[in-house]
Structure 1
Amino acid sequence: MDQRKLKIGAAVVAGLVILFIAGRQFLKWQSTQKDQARVEQANKQAEKEAKQTVASLHQLCRYADSVGIDTSRYVVEPDADKAEAGAKLTALLMEVRYGKKPSRMTYNGLPEAVDSSWAKKVGTTVSLKMMTEFATFAPYNQLATYYNRLRKRAKGNPAVSDSLRQIRQTLNFYRYVNRFNPDQFVIVNIPAGELNVFDRTGKRLLPMQVIAGKPDKRTPCMTTYIKDIVAYPYWNVPRKIALEEMLPRMQRDLSYIYNQNLQILDEKNREVDPEEIDWEGLSTTNFPYRVRQASGCENSLGLIKFDLENPLAIYLHDTNSRDLFTLTADRWRSHGCVRVQKPVELANLVLGKQTFDAGFMNRCMIDQKPQTLSIPKRFPVFIAYNTADVDAAGKLKFYKDVYALNE
């Protein structure tokens, strides 16, 4: 009887052990099935998101193509994973909104206001409506319309292809301006010989002609800002001009100094009497002076100077030869600075109030010292080289490549 009980007990224990092992195996199998189901679900979700990202990227590429962006760098295979497609989608979103830095920019003096997290926040939900919300600048949209019209007849036509290339450069420039988020700003377009003050919608607040640097004294492209405005400025003659152009004339005839209202200053910024200088002993390598032109109507900078932040001594200014705006179509004859046609109007706009009246340019008061006027805030200035653009009437214009930069 005892043996029978022992056998029964052993059988029960064995059964329980088997049941325990079987239960554990079942639970393990069940857990594995759930894990596999989760993995399969995650894979399906990742595949779905990858396809959605690839689809969004393809949609964005079509839009980017329509505004002159080279999308060949953003192409992915249909089965690309989410990480690859997502990285290119983010990069393309940033280029659509902010463009690329133009290759011709010599100096960048404006701090960028780029929202670097914006593209990631967008995710894969990309729509045409969202893209057009950032394309509110009227000249940009007008130029994009012309670009798409020309694309339809570009095949086999080199002239049209070159025109498209020029338009693409300008479209990218306008996208690049978005990096600075300006409310009002100046654009000087060198090939057009024009200056425009725009608001953020693209409205032209103050169009005018300008005279920029001649081909051998090019005005550099830059992003900068007006720091202040100087009424009755001195012209501190750049040393190269003083040595190469003025010194030989001064050595030949001292009357040149008086006729041009020039002042010779020593190293301590004290004015020196030209009659007391040993001109024969001076040369381009031995000239311990600097040259300044006195303020007044005959000053080469005219009566108003707009100081720009840059290390290249480039600024906007009035001119003592205002008739050049009406007597000639040659808009490229300066040493690099930009002469403006409407200095009073520009100054009042930048200052935000009527500081100079209409008669300021004609009074030309004598014995005036330079007066620096502070502006309410930095006023952005973009000096660009756009050979294709739209004019005030919204018509497509191609300008002469005065510096031969498109060759």
Structure 2
Amino acid sequence: MDNRRIGIGVAVVVGLVVLFFVGKYLFTNKDEKTDQAKIEKEKSEASARQVAQLVHQACRYADSMGIDTSRYTLSADVAHNEEVLADVMMEIRYGKKPSRMAFNGLKETVDSNWSAKAEPSSLAALTTFTPYKQLVGHYNRIRKQGTGNPALADSLRLIRQTLNFYRYVNRFDPDQFVLVNIPAGELNVFDRSGKRLLPMQVISGKPDKMTPCMTTYIQDIVMYPYWNVPKNIALEEMLPRMKRDLSYIYNQNLQILDEKEHEVDPEEIDWESLSETNFPYRVRQASGCENSLGLLKFNLANPLAIYLHDTNSRDLFTSTKDHWRSHGCVRVQKPVELANLVLGANTFDAAFMNKCLIDQKPRTLPIPKKFPVFITYNIADVDASGKLHFYKDVYSLAK
């Protein structure tokens, strides 16, 4: 009996001891879980605050670069805010595709992982292109004058468009590139730093034959090119003159080709039977000093039949301020210098343009590598001295 009581007592004591330690463990574990949850919550909140702070920093910088940051809004979702941060950073570096681009022929080399590694504090290192830096300075100077003035607001809008274009160029990472700015009537060759290697005037399309904006590259250069007359020009402008007087064909050094590319004698054509809907020929202007393309043609990769070329009317660069009078292609003021730069060698001398060699056939010159070309419509831009200009809206596209 005594042994039984002793056993029961021992069992009770052991049970109480076990219960005590189990209870202590449960309470301790609960406290630890509570503390751990609290720590995790604090870490999460700290991370959310840090992301939000980085977004604010990036947006402040983007705003000073002429980027509309009202599109970037924060939320309670940290993942969303991280996406916002990445988007802001990518726009600061690469911009947005300009709305007027009719053709994109250059391959983008965007580093999609860059935003995950970069810090907003390092963004200033991106602003190395001189015209871009100068334009940013003008933007912030004008912005300080106030936003209530409609004229100032319009100026800021035009500057923002050009700033975005310069950021967009970063998508292609060119060592050197040709930039044709239609409203300025200018062509510049830039290097990475923004140095102007070869500034010159250009003549581009008239308002009813607008030169399209594009990203492309020079494929090759043609010496003594033919001018393959576009069909609409041949039918609308040339055909009535040819029907009126065959001497127009000879005076313009034109060739009439049949569907087999054989030259046809104009005297043997029944001109009265021809019309805009019945013209089974192609018109080509023979090569030479009187050719409308001049002596050098720069073939651009694009489906719009747009290219850069010399001209047989070089006096237009000095005799008139109307630099928008072509059918869409771009006449360049310094074709020899441009060809030598693109070819990377002094292939042509200054006398080349004055040699009027006859009976020359077109000759294609390959270039060492694709040379990027941007044809754009920037109304607001800086000149070589850094002075801000607002060029004439020749195509009425800025309204």
| Pair 1:337-2:333 in alignment | no
TM-superposition CA deviations, 1:361-386 (whole Å, max 9, x none): 00121111111111111100000100
Amino acid at match of 1:160: L
Residue 33 of structure 1, aligned match among 31, 34, 37: 31
Alignment of 1:42-57 (within 5 A): 42-57=40-55
Structure 2 equivalent of residue 82 of structure 1: 78
What does residue 202 of structure 2 align with?
210
Q: Do 1:211 and 1:340's aligned partners in 2 also have CA atoms closer than 8 Å?
A: yes
Identity %: 68
Asked if 1:273 corresponds to 2:292, the answer is no
Cα distance in 2 for residues equivalent to 1:406 and 1:84: 35
Contact 2:89 2:120 in 1 (8 A): no
CA contact (8 A) 1:47 1:81 kept: no
Structure 2 counterpart of 1:65: 63
Single out whichever of 273-282 and 348-357 deviates more from structure 2: 273-282
**Of 20, 23, 37, the match for 2:21:** 23
Secondary structure at 1:85's aligned position in 2? helix
The answer to whether the Cα contact below 8 Å between 1:186 and 1:197 also exists between their aligned partners in 2 is yes
**Residue pair 1:100, 1:172 contacting (<8 A) in 2 also:** yes
1:126 to 120, 126, 130: 120
Structure 2 match to 1:174: 166
Q: Which of these residues, 102, 105, 109, is aligned with residue 106 of structure 1?
A: 102
C-alpha deviation, 1:17, in angstroms: 4.3
In 1: Cα distance, 2:57 partner to 2:305 partner: 46
Deviations 1:112-163 (A, max 9, x none): 01001110122xx421xx1111110000000010111100113321111111
Cα pair distance change 1:251/1:16, threshold 3 Å: farther
Structure 1: stretches of 5+ with no match in the other structure: none
Aligned twin of 1:398: 390
What is the rounded CA distance, in whole Å, between the counterparts of 2:205 and 2:213 in structure 1?
11
Letter in 2 for 1:201: S
Residue 262 of structure 1: how far off its partner (Å): 1.0
In structure 1, the partner of 2:112 is 116
Distance 1:9 1:255 in 2: 134
Distance 1:11 1:329, change over 3 A: same
SS of 2:367's equivalent? strand
- Secondary structure in 1 aligned to 2:110? coil
Amino acid corresponding to residue 214 of structure 2 in structure 1: M
Aligned to 1:286, the other structure's residue is in SS state coil
In 2, distance between residues paired with 1:184 and 1:89?
Answer: 31
Equivalent residue in structure 1 for 2:319, among 304, 308, 327: 327
DSSP-derived class of the 1:95 partner: helix
The counterpart of 1:253, out of the listed 241, 245, 248, is 245
Q: What's the RMSD between the two structures over aligned residues?
A: 1.4
Query: Are positions 1:184 and 2:150 aligned together?
Result: no
Q: 1:378 aligns with which of 349, 370, 383?
A: 370
The letter of the residue matching 1:90 is A
Q: Deviations over 1:177-235 (max 9, x none)?
A: 01100010010000000000000100000000000000000000001100111111111
Kindly report which structure 2 residues correspond to 1:136-155, keeping only aligned pairs within 5 A, or say none.
136-155=128-147
> For residue 230 of structure 2, what is the aligned residue in structure 1?
238
| Amino acid corresponding to residue 42 of structure 2 in structure 1 | K
Q: Is the 8 A contact 2:203 2:330 kept in 1?
A: yes
Among 340, 357, 360, the alignment partner of 1:365 is 357
Partner Cα separation in structure 2 for residue 237 and residue 31 of structure 1: 87
Cα distance change on mapping 1:6 and 1:166 into 2, 3 Å:
same
CA displacement, residues 4-24 of structure 1 (integer Å, 9 cap, x when unaligned): 323332443444445445534
Amino acid of the structure 1 residue aligned with 2:218: I
The equivalent of 1:316 in structure 2 is 308
Q: Which amino acid aligns with 1:69?
A: I
In the TM superposition, residue 270 of structure 1 has moved relative to its aligned partner by 1.5
User: What is the one-letter code of the residue matched to 1:381?
Assistant: V
Q: Give the match for residue 196 of structure 1.
A: 188
Which secondary structure does the structure 2 equivalent of 1:298 belong to?
coil
What is the alpha-carbon distance in structure 1 between the residues aligned to residue 371 and residue 342 of structure 2?
7
Cα distance change, pair 203–18 in 1 and its aligned pair in 2 (3 A): same
- 1:393 match: secondary structure: coil
Measured in 2, the distance between the counterparts of 1:30 and 1:307 equals 80
- SS at the partner of 1:311? coil
TM-score w.r.t. the length of structure 1 is: 0.95
Shift of 1:45: 1.1
TM-aligned CA distance change 1:283 to 1:4, over 3 Å? farther
What is the deviation of 1:25?
4.5
Q: Which runs of 5 or more residues in structure 2 are unaligned?
A: none
Q: Given that residues 230 and 373 in structure 1 are in contact (C-alpha distance below 8 angstroms), is that contact kept between their aligned partners in structure 2?
A: yes
SS at match of 2:233: helix
Runs of 4+ displaced beyond 2 Å: 3-39
Specify the alignment match of 1:349 in structure 2.
341
Q: SS of the residue aligned with 1:185?
A: strand
Distance in structure 2 (CA, Å) of the matches to 1:34 and 1:66: 48
